[in-house]
Amino acid sequence: MRGEVTAAKSGPELGVPTERRVGWGFIALYALAFTSTSVLFLPPLLVTLPLKINSLVGIKEAPNSLALVAGVGAFVSMIANPFFGRMSDRTSSRLGMRRPWMVIGFVGGSVGIVVIALAPNIPVVLLGWCMAQLFFNALLAAQVAVVPDQVQPAQRGIVSGVLGVCLPTAAVTGTFLVRLVSGNQLATFLVPCGIAGFFILLFAVVLRDRRLAKAARPIWSLGEFARTFYVAPRKSPDFAWAFVSRFMFILAYAFLATYQAYYLLDKIGSTRADVPQQIFLGTLTSSVVVIAASLIFGKLSDRTGRRKIFVFTASIVYAVAMFVIAIASTFNGFLVGMAIGGLGFGMYVAVDFALVVDVLPDQDRVAKDLGVLNVASALPFSLAPAIAPAILAIGTGYGALYAVAGVCAVIGAFAILHVRGVR
């Protein structure tokens, strides 16, 4: 029958949790695609965007220019992610609900990366980064909805743990690719994007995507549009506390990621030529620990049926890492902080996503609600560049900045204890 959702041709019925366990083939391909999406974001954020800005305006003006570009771009992503999540939830294309936005998001965002690579000044860099954030968040919003779409609750911890490996793997892969072609600025932007695109499009093609009949498409109105960006805390207190916890944790990470290059240049005294190599080594050190922690604690969370204690502990460990980086005066001290941060970050990403999926307010609008929650991941990257110059000005430089980051992680730890709907 026309418009009918059939298991043979598409994914599970909308709003009904799947009872079919996903296999390791699906998990592996999904992980490759998710890693590739992170590769689109991370090399520009960690290396190429700061260095591009530095080459245009110099080290004295670079932090403020980066604050402008990263802040506005993060604001765009904050709007784009829930908006495209809602659009994905109401897409009744024959290609499915998620697939079209994966393809559109990758293609559009890649155009933005090209604009950045060729930009002659900061306004053009800003334009390109906003384009990249807009479209890559359309891709991300559709991609994260695959977990509640396809993965049953009993498997979400292990899948979340595998996805936790994706971020550090992407960071290492992306920074390695940048280091490999560091002599060519254009290639540092385009090579990671091109390689990542292959796996993203491969997953989009083979995905057994959900299908939504046009008659079942949610009503669209001005009120519905406004609610795209909001979930009532009183109606969904667990979701609200999960939002606060993630926001504070990611704010700590945003301080580190956004200003890592300038921390090395200014506080550690590295040369510009050494920064790509040092960021790669720091990322590699952190990522080895993240990968081990993600796989161990994701599985342990499923086995024990507990989520909160892992998220709480992870946030405290990450706070310790920020304090270590704050007092470091050598590159080796920085590496020690990155290793400790890897343990906290790995434990966090292994369990936090599973916890969040368990407290989603509406199973019929999972992409929209995950989009709202992703504001907690995007807004810090707008807020951190906005307040970092003030902290740098009134504090003791980057040591004060990362001490503030540690405090943010501690606040995130205690916020998660207020979630009641999961153990």
108-146 pLDDT, tens digit per residue, is 999 999 999 999 999 999 999 999 999 999 999 898 888
pLDDT value at residue 402: 92
Cα of 357 vs its chain's centroid, Å: 15
Q: Which long-range contacts (CB under 8 A, 24 or more apart) does 383-386 make?
A: 383/71, 383/74, 383/251, 383/254, 384/70, 384/251, 384/254, 384/255, 384/258, 384/259, 385/66, 385/67, 385/68, 385/70, 385/71, 385/74, 385/258, 386/67, 386/71
What is the C-alpha to C-alpha distance for residues 246 and 348, in angstroms, rounded to an integer? 10
pTM for this one? 0.69
Q: Is residue 14 part of a domain?
A: no
pLDDT at residue 410 greater than cutoff 90: yes
Residue 99's closest CA among 208, 213, 228, 216? 208
Return the CATH number at 196: 1.20.1250.20
Does residue 229 or residue 252 have the better pLDDT?
A: 252
Q: State the pLDDT confidence band at 221, using cuts at 50, 70 and 90.
A: low
The parent domain of residue 289 ranges over 24-416
Is pLDDT of 1 > 60?
Answer: no
Mean pLDDT of 1-9: 35
44 inside domain: yes
pLDDT of residue 365: 62
Q: Quick one: which of 257, 246, 248, 362 has its CA closest to 307?
A: 246
For residue 18, is it within any domain? no
What stretch of H or E contains 386? helix 380-394
In a domain, residue 123? The reply is yes
Domain total for the chain? 1
Residue 271 lies in a domain: yes
Q: pLDDT at residue 148 above 80?
A: no
Q: What is the rounded CA–CA span in Å between residue 403 and residue 252?
A: 9
Q: Between 383 and 342, name the one with better pLDDT.
A: 342
| 3 belongs to a structural domain | no
Buried b (16+ CB within 10 A) or exposed e, 115-137: bbbebeebeebbbbbbbbbbbbb
Q: So what's the pLDDT on residue 364?
A: 58
Average pLDDT on 344-359 reads: 79
Position 421 scores a pLDDT of 59
Does residue 34 fall inside a structural domain? Answer: yes
In a domain, 227, yes or no: yes
In this prediction, residue 60 carries a pLDDT of 77
* Per-residue pLDDT at 2 exceeds 60: no
C-alpha–C-alpha distance, residues 230 and 137, integer Å: 17
Tell me the average pLDDT of the chain.
Answer: 82
